[in-house]
Amino acid sequence: MDELSPNSDVKQVVAQGYDQVAKAYAELENEAPWPRMRWVKKLLQKLPSGSAVLDLGCGSGDPADVEIAKAHAVTGVDISQAQIALARQKVPSGRFLQADVGSVTFPDASFDAVITFYTLEHLPRTEHGAILQRIYHWLRHGGYFLLSTEAGEVEEIVSEWLGVPMYFSCFDPETLKQMVQAAGFEILETAVETQSEGDDKIPYLWLLAQKPED
């Protein structure tokens, strides 16, 4: 791993990286469609119209938030200024905050669903448990949590990705599922699905969970 220690340095690497590759990332889904919108549709079937949905690591908001915002109120959080600027263009009805998922806060019980796709692996895994617990508290009882994250086991690494240095850190899928349950969620469905990203094939854990009713 390159020389990186405090989490703030790590966050800077990610923010600066996505500021540079926002457009290239948007063009990565160029062959077989990724599983993302199939999982978004599963979630949308469960949400009454006008639900409050939080997207952590929302990127440009396209395609997930564009679709969700047709019937729901979207709040998006992203650490990259360039991604937030794109999201504000793509989803004019959304509320978008440039902030770190590791420290952003919301009032308890303020969302009906929280989604986070391809993002948790860009935060130090020492933060993952606390983030899952905070998501649990931000959800109303009966609310849904939809997650995807790289299905790997990496303490932390900075490697070149789309021509920039990028930070990755993740638990293996079984450990992460146990952490989701330990936060209080009931897991409804999970799968590991591999998707094409340019010449690479990357496996991701997909997980749909629910905060139990009162």
Ligand X SMILES: C[S@@+](CC[C@H](N)C(=O)[O-])C[C@H]1O[C@@H](n2cnc3c(N)ncnc32)[C@H](O)[C@@H]1O
Where on the chain is the footprint of ligand X (CB under 6 A)? 11, 14, 18, 25, 36, 57-59, 64, 77-80, 83, 100-102, 117-119, 122-123
Nearer to ligand X, 43 or 79 (CB): 79
Nearer to ligand X, 69 or 77 (CB): 77
Helices (H) then strands (E): counts for the chain:
6, 9
Provide the token pair at 11: 């966050």
Residues in the chain, how many? Answer: 214
DSSP class of residue 120 equals G
CB atoms within 10 A of CB 50: 9
* Shortest-Cβ-distance residue relative to ligand X: 59
| Separation CA 153–CA 13 (nearest Å) | 20
CB of 52 to ligand X, least distance (A): 18
Provide the token pair at 136: 């649990």
Residue 38's Cβ-count burial label (10 Å; 0-12, 13-18, 19+) is: exposed
Nearer to ligand X, 83 or 195 (CB): 83
Nearer to ligand X, 101 or 207 (CB): 101
CB of 24 to ligand X, least distance (A): 11
